[in-house]
């Protein structure tokens, strides 16, 4: 089974509007971290936001917030007040505590296009 | 700027050749991770080093190897290159390697095998 599923290959949003990018995950580990990264067309991977499995509050970082629903195993990224510079690929990733799973597992990504 | 540096940025080579990709982690970070991003496989973990020791292995081919040096920089060696090895190779680093730590990525090395 896929550890991270991003079901939206592409999304469009009007400038200044909010957008939600979906992410569901699969793990039997109780301790894990969820991450979102942004990859602009230039190629670099930019860290956006982190949510720990024991965090009771949803993470926020400026215009980014993470809608964490543990029982549903979802960790959706919400971008408020979209800007043209937000156009990029967005990847959801998970890392489990288990010592044999020391790496990030990435989803297939969502390409966000912000329309002026 | 994540603080992770990778060289070279671009590399063009021929099948059968060998190349070395270099990574310097963020100051103070002991863990280095290598990832491969290709169109068909997505982002895949290759290998992790912690303070000079190999910590974890992912989908790394036997033709690929890596090491982390005493100054904590790391090198990824790719040999007997095939067309399918063309990809964007990322290095990432984190402090101690704990699962909660953010991995900060370098700008990547774009490898094209002709």
Per-residue pLDDT reduced to its tens digit, A56-67: 999 999 999 999
d(CA A61, CA A85): 16
Residue A101 has pLDDT above 80, yes or no: no
Backbone torsions φ then ψ of B84, nearest 5 degrees: -70, -10
CB contact under 8 A, A96 and B97: no
**Which stretches of chain A are assigned E, i.e. beta strand?**
4-5, 10-14, 19-21, 24-25, 32-39, 46-52, 60-61, 64-69, 74-79, 88-96, 105-106, 110-115
Looking at the complex, report in whole angstroms how far the Cα of residue B80 sits from the nearest Cα belonging to chain A: 26
For residue A80, name the pLDDT band (cuts at 50, 70, 90): very high
Are A87 and A39 within 8 A, CB to CB?
no
Per-residue model confidence (pLDDT) at position B52: 94
**Chain A residues with beta carbon closer than 8 angstroms to that of B106:** 44
Q: Assess B61–A contact: CB distance below 8 Å, yes or no.
A: no
Q: How do strand A105-106 and strand A46-52 relate by DSSP bridges?
A: unpaired
Question: Distance of CA A84 to CAs A8, A40, A55, Å?
Answer: 19, 11, 31
Residue B101 has pLDDT above 90, yes or no: no
Give the tens place of pLDDT for each residue, B54-77.
998 988 999 999 999 999 999 999
CB contact under 8 A, A43 and B104: no
Looking at the complex, report in whole angstroms how far the Cα of residue B104 sits from the nearest Cα belonging to chain A: 7
For the beta carbon of residue A34, count every other beta carbon within 10 angstroms.
25
Q: How do strand A4-5 and strand A24-25 relate by DSSP bridges?
A: antiparallel
Of A32, A47, A91, the CB nearest to B99: A32
Residue A99 has pLDDT above 80, yes or no: no
Contacts of A87 (CB under 8 A, 6+ apart): A40, A112, A113, A114
* Residue whose entry in the numeric block shows the structure tokens 């103070």: B28
Q: Assess A8–B contact: CB distance below 8 Å, yes or no.
A: no
CB contact under 8 A, B48 and A44: no
Per-residue model confidence (pLDDT) at position A100: 63
Give the tens place of pLDDT for each residue, B22-39.
999 999 999 999 999 998
Tell me, rounded to whole angstroms, the distance of Cα B100 from its chain centroid. 20
**Chain A residues with beta carbon closer than 8 angstroms to that of B35:** 103-104
For the beta carbon of residue B3, count every other beta carbon within 10 angstroms.
13
Backbone torsions φ then ψ of A86, nearest 5 degrees: -80, -10
**Chain A residues with beta carbon closer than 8 angstroms to that of B41:** none
Backbone torsions φ then ψ of B28, nearest 5 degrees: 95, -15
Of B43, B99, B106, the CB nearest to A106: B43
Are B53 and B13 within 8 A, CB to CB?
no
Residue B15 has pLDDT above 70, yes or no: yes
Are A45 and B90 within 8 A, CB to CB?
yes
For residue B97, name the pLDDT band (cuts at 50, 70, 90): confident
Q: Is A83 exposed, middle or buried (0-12, 13-18, 19+ CB in 10 A)?
A: exposed
Q: Assess A41–B contact: CB distance below 8 Å, yes or no.
A: no
Report, as an integer, the average pLDDT of B87-102: 90
d(CA A26, CA A2): 7
Q: Assess A97–B contact: CB distance below 8 Å, yes or no.
A: yes
Looking at the complex, report in whole angstroms how far the Cα of residue B16 sits from the nearest Cα belonging to chain A: 26
Give the tens place of pLDDT for each residue, B37-51.
998 889 999 999 999
Per-residue model confidence (pLDDT) at position B99: 82
Give the tens place of pLDDT for each residue, A28-74.
989 999 999 999 999 999 999 999 999 999 999 999 999 999 999 99
């Amino acid at each position: 089974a896929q550890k991270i599923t991003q079901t939206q290959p592409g999304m469009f949003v009007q400038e200044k509007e909010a957008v939600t990018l979906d992410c569901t995950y699969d793990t039997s580990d109780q301790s894990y971290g969820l991450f979102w990264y942004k990859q602009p067309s230039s190629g670099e991977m930019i860290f956006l936001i982190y949510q720990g499995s024991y965090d009771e509050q949803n993470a926020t970082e400026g215009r980014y917030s993470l809608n964490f629903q543990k029982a549903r195993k979802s960790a959706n990224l919400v971008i408020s007040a979209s800007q043209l510079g937000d156009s990029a690929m967005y990847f959801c990733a998970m890392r489990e505590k288990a010592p044999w799973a020391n790496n990030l597992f990435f989803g297939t990504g969502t390409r966000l296009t912000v329309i002026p | 700027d994540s603080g992770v540096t990778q060289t070279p940025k671009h590399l063009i080579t021929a099948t059968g050749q060998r190349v070395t990709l270099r990574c310097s982690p963020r100051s103070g970070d002991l863990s280095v991770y290598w990832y491969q991003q290709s169109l068909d496989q997505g982002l895949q973990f290759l290998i992790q080093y912690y303070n000079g020791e190999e910590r974890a292995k992912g989908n790394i081919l036997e033709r690929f190897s890596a090491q982390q040096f005493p100054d904590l920089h790391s090198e990824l060696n790719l040999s007997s290159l095939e067309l399918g090895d063309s990809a964007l190779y990322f290095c990432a680093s984190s402090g101690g390697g704990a699962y909660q730590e953010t991995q900060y990525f370098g700008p990547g090395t774009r490898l094209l095998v002709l």
